[in-house]
Chain A
Amino acid sequence: MLPDMRLRSLLLPLMLALGLPAAPLPAAAQESARVLRYASQDDPQTLDPHSANLLSTTRAVANIYEPLVFRDKDWKVVPWLAVSWSQPTDKAWRFKLREGVRFHDGSTLTADDVVFSVERALSPTSQLKVSLQGVEKAVKVDALTVDLVMREPNPVLLSHLTAFRIMSRAWAMKNGAQRPQDYTAKEDTFASRNANGTGAFQVRERSPDVRTVLTAHKDWWGHKAGMNEGNLAEVVMLPIKSNATRLAALLSGEVDFVLDPPTQDVARLKAAPNLKVVEGAEQRVQYLAFDLHRDHLVYGNAGGKNPFKDLRVRQAVAHAIDMEAIRSKVMRGFSKPVGALIVPGVQGYAKEGDQRLPYDRERAKKLLAEAGYPNGFDVTLDAGSIQPAADIAQAVAAMLTQVGIRVKPNIVPQTSYFPKIEKFDTSFYLLSWGAASTSDILYTAQALLHTHSKKGEGDFNMGRWSNPAMDALIQRLQVESDPARRDGVARELLQLAARELPVIALHQPLIPWAMRKEVTARFTPTNTVYFHLVRVDGPARAPAGR
């Protein structure tokens, strides 16, 4: 019963081409009230800051609740609700809280709220435990000082803490929201539909799948501290599932901002006189990975052997892929080919480790012959059904077939894809990994490159590659606290990965945001709009009634 997507994508250009003389807008009403009507395809699942670690949820929550430390323009960690910190002992971090921070209900932030939020985010029903990696508990020192007691060292705790947000203790107690929402419970917790944070915006209305209305928090500490770069009095967050309708709403002036325009329409949106597009790079890398554990191919035929275990075959795969073609044809220019699993901006990135093998079909064929596969072999490439993964898998399959590796792309519905590769039920797969939740190499390396173990290491190393040198480097990353030395370890790690090619990094996706000319917004690596950084200029319009 779903509308045929192909037909729709044919129709939309027509709509856009014909629709450019958009409807006249209702004229000015109040000069001061600046409203941003923001549309994206997803609605937040909940407003609970410790419940769902999903981007669609965080996009709302990050404007309502605030972390102890956050990031500046250059994505460096800066003081936020905490003004300073120190490490009095090996086992503790001490945070001094900002004075006079007010919650939306008017109460003042104290150490009790932080202690409470740490407990809450570490409780079993929380999905945000990763934001407190290594933390055992929080202890109040005085009204504005808190110690985080560590169970194990975490040299990049501050990066992790940018995703840990503080909730009012008194408010949560009063409303029975001591624990994050539990999907197995019979009731929804109060905090899933209501909120009381310290953020620049507070919730006025929450109707799931219809709209979430935020209004500016008048007592926000950031006003005095000069953190407010925007001029919004109100934000209406609208979920509009259908791509065509979402763009129609932008063209007709019913919304000001579209977070996720379909990439095929971006060129036309740029040409529209009253619209503009802001592009940015998400800290995410799409990559190919191989089964490097079994001695034969589960899906494929290479004479009973697993060719991927031979480094020369992995190099041949890398040489055979024309990333420039994928960038321009499949991604329509919205990607940047990369050679490493992490990208600039992530702590630990090193240019030396970010080297792609050049596109060279002859070299690929030669390497295959040297490895003992002059006639190539057959293999199945698994990919999830969410775009652009499916299209990339098709393109990669065609390119590898040209050098003799006869690849059959197998596009699996997204809901079944993770369970499949989680069981290592694959010989060759395509996946992407986002590093923005900590913006540090450890998070990525630990999950993707460490030997798979039950203890949370190598969780996403579905090819079960195992290399003692790599494990040792990751171990050192975990404990090394000297930044320069740690960067050295990271560089070595990336170089090892580039040499051994347990995975082949493909590209970093670029993300377009579409908006009316009057809107100013800055792209952030989390692909999240922080509304205190957004301006709406030009003639003011009446606050959105709908």
Chain B
Amino acid sequence: MFAFVLTRIAQGVVVMLVVGFIAFSLFNFVGDPVALMLPPEATQADRQAMREALGLDRPFTVQFANFVTNAVQGNFGISLRLGRPVSALLVERLPATLELAFVAASLALLVGIPLGVYTGLKRNAWSSRLLLTASLIGVSLPTFLIGIFLILIFAVWLGWLPSFGRGDTVALGAWTTGFLSPTGLKALILPSITLGLFQLTLIMRLVRSEMLEVLRTDYIKFARARGLTNRAVHFGHALRNTLVPVITITGLQLGSIIAFAIVTETVFQWPGMGLLFIQAIQFADIPVMAAYLCLIGLIFVLINLVVDLLYYFVDPRLRIERAGAEGH
């Protein structure tokens, strides 16, 4: 177990270095931030002075070495757009993105798994067919379109929910939360549905097909033969055995929810990291873009690590095989 975790961490470090290099080298060719920072009317001398001041005139390798050294210490420099330390900006924006991702993921799991079980058990009921058809919408419609439709219906027509922003937030130390104010909670509804809908339908369809698979297996028949209740068969045996793929997918999807909240955040002007990233791209704000990519890389690495560990608890076979292998 310990060796396994160590291997995973070592792999993670390699991944992070590669991500760091790609992030950095890509951004070296994104464009000229100086052109955007200075007005078009600025003189060439102004431009050159700015370039030198930012270190953009130094060789590529020197810039990258500096970047890695600083990145390890959490120092990604100053945002070219906002003129503030990138680490401080990310810390400020992280709560908004994580809260949104948390609500969206909870929504996906809490609604997706029961619906998946239901449609798996009642595979021929008309309600199941209806749900499956409806779920196609979630799978096939692009996020921003769902967002705009929700805004149209609930903000413009009905006027029930805000079309943008995060509402009032309450500061708990460095963390700002929207969970503690009515406007904050209202503001969470549309973006989290937009962000979570795809995952919800994905999980629902995944659980359903896994359930169908598992229900056909011999041990379910044996369980029934033993006279266990439906409830024990469905949830104790069947659902539990569907969970390994569900955990894998959910884990990876959680990473995607955080990383690809970009679109949702742009549509709803949600002040999270995704919005910060989009605006950084438009400004060729290299420090922010680099930091964001590295952070997202780190989140994916960590989530995968946690998912790997979770297998141990869900699937006893993994524990036995690994123990057996080490015994030789």
Q: Which residues of A contact B (CB under 8 A)?
A: 1-4, 7-8, 11, 15, 18-19, 21-24, 45-46, 51-54, 124, 127, 130, 181-189, 192, 207-211, 238-242, 244-246, 248-249, 251-254, 413-419, 422, 431, 433-434, 437, 443, 447, 454, 456, 459-460, 545-546
Q: Is the CB of B162 within 8 A of A456?
A: no
Q: Is the CB of A417 within 8 A of B35?
A: yes
**In the docked arrangement, what's the CA distance between A93 and B263, Å?**
53
- A127 touches which of B39, B53, B55, B157 (Cβ 8 Å): B39
Q: Is the CB of B159 within 8 A of A252?
A: yes
Q: Give A110 Cβ to nearest chain B Cβ, in Å.
A: 29
Complex: chain A residue closest to B49, CB-CB? A124
- B151 touches which of A248, A447, A454 (Cβ 8 Å): A248
Tell me which residues across on chain A come within 8 A of B90, comparing CB atoms.
Answer: none
Does chain A have a CB within 8 A of B321?
no
Tell me which residues across on chain A come within 8 A of B278, comparing CB atoms.
Answer: 2, 241
Does chain A have a CB within 8 A of B271?
yes
Q: Is the CB of A416 within 8 A of B31?
A: yes
**In the docked arrangement, what's the CA distance between A2 and B277, Å?**
12
Q: Which residues of B contact A (CB under 8 A)?
A: 30-47, 49-50, 53-55, 78, 80-85, 142-145, 148, 151-152, 155-159, 162-168, 183, 187, 260, 262-263, 266-269, 271, 275-276, 278-279, 284
Q: Give B51 Cβ to nearest chain A Cβ, in Å.
A: 10
**In the docked arrangement, what's the CA distance between A245 and B148, Å?**
7
Tell me which residues across on chain A come within 8 A of B83, comparing CB atoms.
Answer: 45-46, 51, 181, 183, 188-189, 192
Q: Is the CB of A185 within 8 A of B37?
A: no
Q: Is the CB of A254 within 8 A of B162?
A: yes
- A422 touches which of B37, B47, B166, B279 (Cβ 8 Å): B47
Q: Is the CB of B262 within 8 A of A1?
A: yes
- B267 touches which of A4, A24, A186, A244 (Cβ 8 Å): A244
**In the docked arrangement, what's the CA distance between A15 and B154, Å?**
12
Q: Is the CB of A23 within 8 A of B40?
A: no
Q: Known pairs A245-B151, A254-B162; list 14 more (Cβ under 8 Å).
A: A2-B263, A3-B143, A3-B144, A15-B148, A124-B49, A186-B78, A238-B165, A248-B148, A249-B155, A254-B163, A414-B35, A415-B35, A418-B32, A546-B167
Q: Give A390 Cβ to nearest chain B Cβ, in Å.
A: 15
Tell me which residues across on chain A come within 8 A of B55, comparing CB atoms.
Answer: 184
Secondary structure at the A interface, as helix, strand, loop or mixed, is loop
**In the docked arrangement, what's the CA distance between A246 and B82, Å?**
22
Complex: chain B residue closest to A209, CB-CB? B271
Tell me which residues across on chain A come within 8 A of B271, comparing CB atoms.
Answer: 207, 209-210
Q: Give B137 Cβ to nearest chain A Cβ, in Å.
A: 16
The 8 A-B pairs with the shortest beta carbon distances in the complex, nearest first, are: A23-B159, A415-B31, A3-B144, A418-B35, A19-B156, A419-B32, A188-B84, A415-B284
**In the docked arrangement, what's the CA distance between A245 and B163, Å?**
7
Tell me which residues across on chain A come within 8 A of B268, comparing CB atoms.
Answer: 245
Q: Is the CB of A456 within 8 A of B43?
A: yes
Q: Give B48 Cβ to nearest chain A Cβ, in Å.
A: 10
Q: Is the CB of B84 within 8 A of A192?
A: yes
Q: Can you pick out 5 interface pairs between chain A and chain B where the beta carbons lie within 8 Å of each other? A: A46-B82, A53-B39, A183-B50, A242-B269, A419-B34
Complex: chain A residue closest to B268, CB-CB? A245
Tell me which residues across on chain B come within 8 A of A21, comparing CB atoms.
Answer: 157
Q: Is the CB of A245 within 8 A of B85?
A: no
Tell me which residues across on chain A come within 8 A of B263, comparing CB atoms.
Answer: 1-3
Q: Is the CB of A248 within 8 A of B156?
A: yes
**In the docked arrangement, what's the CA distance between A241 and B280, Å?**
12
Q: Is the CB of B269 within 8 A of A240?
A: yes
- A241 touches which of B145, B159, B269 (Cβ 8 Å): B269
**In the docked arrangement, what's the CA distance between A207 and B34, Å?**
25
Q: Is the CB of A241 within 8 A of B31?
A: no
- A251 touches which of B34, B81, B156 (Cβ 8 Å): B156
Q: Is the CB of A45 within 8 A of B81?
A: yes
Complex: chain B residue closest to A21, CB-CB? B157
**In the docked arrangement, what's the CA distance between A118 and B327, Å?**
78
Q: Is the CB of B82 within 8 A of A45?
A: yes
Complex: chain A residue closest to B276, CB-CB? A209
Known: A1-B263, A242-B269. A184 touches B53 (CB 8 A): yes
Q: Is the CB of A184 within 8 A of B144?
A: no
Q: Give B98 Cβ to nearest chain A Cβ, in Å.
A: 16
Interface centre among A7, A15, A245, A447 (most CB of B within 10 A): A245
Q: Is the CB of A240 within 8 A of B42?
A: no
Q: Is the CB of B78 within 8 A of A127?
A: no
**In the docked arrangement, what's the CA distance between A23 and B158, Å?**
6
Q: Is the CB of B36 within 8 A of A415?
A: yes
Q: Give B60 Cβ to nearest chain A Cβ, in Å.
A: 16
Q: Is the CB of B38 within 8 A of A53?
A: yes
Q: Is the CB of A242 within 8 A of B266?
A: yes
Tell me which residues across on chain A come within 8 A of B44, comparing CB atoms.
Answer: 422, 454, 459
**In the docked arrangement, what's the CA distance between A437 and B39, Å?**
11
Q: Is the CB of A546 within 8 A of B165?
A: yes
Complex: chain B residue closest to A437, CB-CB? B41
Known: A124-B49, A127-B39, A251-B156. A545 touches B168 (CB 8 A): yes
Complex: chain A residue closest to B142, CB-CB? A3
Q: Give B157 Cβ to nearest chain A Cβ, in Å.
A: 7
Tell me which residues across on chain A come within 8 A of B82, comparing CB atoms.
Answer: 45-46, 188, 208
Tell me which residues across on chain A come within 8 A of B166, comparing CB atoms.
Answer: 210
**In the docked arrangement, what's the CA distance between A1 and B55, Å?**
30
Tell me which residues across on chain A come within 8 A of B142, comparing CB atoms.
Answer: 3-4, 7
**In the docked arrangement, what's the CA distance between A209 and B33, Å?**
19
Q: Give A310 Cβ to nearest chain B Cβ, in Å.
A: 29
**In the docked arrangement, what's the CA distance between A211 and B166, Å?**
11
Q: Give A20 Cβ to nearest chain B Cβ, in Å.
A: 9
Q: Is the CB of B85 within 8 A of A419?
A: no
Q: Is the CB of A7 within 8 A of B145?
A: yes
**In the docked arrangement, what's the CA distance between A54 and B283, Å?**
12
Tell me which residues across on chain B come within 8 A of A433, comparing CB atoms.
Answer: 40-41
**In the docked arrangement, what's the CA distance between A8 and B144, Å?**
9
Q: Is the CB of B163 within 8 A of A253?
A: no
Known: A8-B148, A192-B83, A447-B41. A242 touches B267 (CB 8 A): yes
Tell me which residues across on chain B come within 8 A of A130, comparing CB atoms.
Answer: 41
Interface centre among A1, A21, A254 (most CB of B within 10 A): A1
Tell me which residues across on chain A come within 8 A of B35, comparing CB atoms.
Answer: 414-419, 422
Interface centre among A11, A208, A414 (most CB of B within 10 A): A208
Interface centre among A8, A244, A253, A443 (most CB of B within 10 A): A244
Tell me which residues across on chain A come within 8 A of B284, comparing CB atoms.
Answer: 415
Tell me which residues across on chain B come within 8 A of A246, comparing CB atoms.
Answer: 164
**In the docked arrangement, what's the CA distance between A185 and B84, Å?**
9
Tell me which residues across on chain B come within 8 A of A431, comparing CB atoms.
Answer: 40
Tell me which residues across on chain A come within 8 A of B32, comparing CB atoms.
Answer: 415-416, 418-419
**In the docked arrangement, what's the CA distance between A380 and B324, Å?**
69
